[in-house]
Amino acid sequence: MFEMELGAVQERFADIVWANEPVPSGELVKICEKELGWKKSTTYTVLRKLCEKGLLQNENGIVTSLIARDDFYSVKSEQIIENSYEGSLPAFIAAFTSRKKLTGDEVKEIQKMIDAFKKRED
């Protein structure tokens, strides 16, 4: 499992890349100017930092991710549960649902996940 700490700005930038990849770096500059109000130099600075961290790559002016969005956020979720709830998913769910009530559809979706997991174990 990889560990990667990103600030909110870096995550937003990564989300833009994931949504548009593969994206030419010049086009990425235009997108970041429009969506984030950034100058060209800011875009390239953040891009360089995320390339150094191993999340993105810029090869021949084409920016792509080295880690898929779903993989990144799955690991991030695991890290939150591990660090904040001593690795206990039930403790996380209890804390989450103590302040936010689940809808009937959410309960059904979670139950489907549990049922699918049980089938894999059998």
**Per-residue burial over 54-84, b = 16 or more CB atoms within 10 Å of its CB, e = otherwise:** ebbebeeeebebebeeeebeeeeeeeebeee
Residue 121 has pLDDT above 90, yes or no: no
Q: Is 14 in the same domain as 64?
A: yes
Q: Work out the mean pLDDT of the chain and round it to a whole number.
A: 92
Specify if 106 maps to a domain. Answer: yes
Residue 93: domain span = 88-122
Q: Is 44 in the same domain as 93?
A: no
pLDDT for 2: 57
Specify if 99 maps to a domain. Answer: yes
What is the pLDDT averaged over residues 9-25? Answer: 97
Q: Is 21 in the same domain as 51?
A: yes
pLDDT for 22: 98
